[in-house]
Amino acid sequence: MITNTLLKLIAVIVIFFVVNFAYAFTSLADDTVKAVAALSKQIKYSKNLELLDKSQQLLLQQIGRHVDDYLSLLGRYNQEDRLAILLAVAEQKGIVKKTEKLYLYRAVLKGKIEELHLINLLRIEKITKNSLPAEGVKTLDLIKKNGPFPYGKDGTAFNNREKKLPIRENSIYYQEYTVKTPGRLDRGARRIVIGKNGEIYYTEDHYQTFKAVTE
């Protein structure tokens, strides 16, 4: 027979969880949403990982390893994965509390946070524009001028099938351009790859390895 005391205890426990559940939907202020949105932009590219402290980098790496166990089979990150990484870092920085995660998840799905970027833990070497071969600099200049380009395939989509660059859902996120190789009549192995947000990558071995180009 359940005693009145036990019933009261159960009622208190139920009320506690209901209140906390409601809090998750109501307690997150708009400025917190904006703060998390700003954080997502801060860490949107692998080249920005150094902006985080070591504990946050370690957290990202731990999550990344766990996620990559099955995403290597899927070939893409889904929204829940990206959100999980974003929330983990946001919580680590003290921007959101555990009880606010559910509200934030709904806020993202409703579009309150406009950009939710995948965190890709690729380690890509950085070089400056001046470190490019002269033909690479010329290709970049042509890209800025929007041509004319010497090859018909210049400006076509680079699909990143081998996932050597940060993965994007948009299959035409990257575009490739030829970097001429002296003495060769064909396109050769050198390319410049441009991302829609202005990222610049250089490959000299036909997409086997890439270097991120900075000004």
* CATH class name, domain 125-214: alpha beta
Alpha carbon distance 118, 144 (integer Å): 27
Q: What is the mean pLDDT of the chain?
A: 66
pLDDT-derived band at 98 (thresholds 50, 70, 90) equals: low
- pLDDT tens track for 24-33: 333 333 444 4
Alpha carbon distance 41, 119 (integer Å): 10
Alpha carbon distance 189, 205 (integer Å): 5
54 Cβ contact partners less than 8 Å away, ≥ 6 residues apart: none
pLDDT-derived band at 155 (thresholds 50, 70, 90) equals: very high
Active site residues per annotation: 176, 206
pLDDT-derived band at 85 (thresholds 50, 70, 90) equals: low
Question: Whole-model pTM?
Answer: 0.49
Domain boundaries, the chain: 4-109, 125-214
Residue (of 52, 123, 40) closest to 83 by Cα position: 40
Q: What is the pLDDT of residue 205?
A: 95
- pLDDT tens track for 117-150: 333 345 678 899 999 999 999 999 999 999 999 9
- pLDDT tens track for 67-79: 444 334 333 444 4
- Residue 51 DSSP class: G
